[in-house]
Amino acid sequence: LMAQAQQQGARLLVLPEGVLARDITDPDLVLKAAQPLDGPFLTQMLAASRENTLTTMMTVHVPTPDGRALNVLVAMRNGEIIARYDKLHLYDAFAMQESRNVTAGNEVPPLVEVDGMKVGLMTCYDIRFPELARRL
């Protein structure tokens, strides 16, 4: 997908939240699939990003010492993680109870520069909180 986006002239590729593991019928899948940032999935993605000039953004679930996971948005370019943030607002509504398996982050996400434009990082439910966008 990175190569295809690069060939079509893209400078930024944003992959969906939970690209590695998301299944509403198995809320524990995020724990089963959680990997450290130096785990095999992200290592392969970073290797692929060395082959192009794209900035790629995606989320991964990273295990925490308390047995849950962080929902981490990473931005990568040239094989390196250039920014990251941990999802701040967990979705606990209706049948979803994200906080059962996911630990909330506590830092405002950074800005990433892509071809001279500043891009703010926010994922999923975080976009519903305008104070976060104002801080970016």
Structural domain total, the chain: 1
Catalytic residue among 32, 113, 118, 124: 124
What domain range includes position 127?
2-135
pTM: 0.91
> pLDDT (tens digit, 9 = 90+) per residue, 44-86?
999 999 999 999 999 999 999 999 999 999 999 999 999 999 9
Residue 131 designated active-site: no
CA distance 56 to 49: 8
Catalytic residue among 32, 51, 80, 87: 87
Taking alpha carbons only, the member of 64, 60, 59, 74 closest to residue 103 is 64
- CATH code at position 55: 3.60.110.10
Residue 118 designated active-site: no
> pLDDT (tens digit, 9 = 90+) per residue, 87-120?
999 999 988 899 999 999 999 999 999 999 999 9
Residue 17 designated active-site: yes
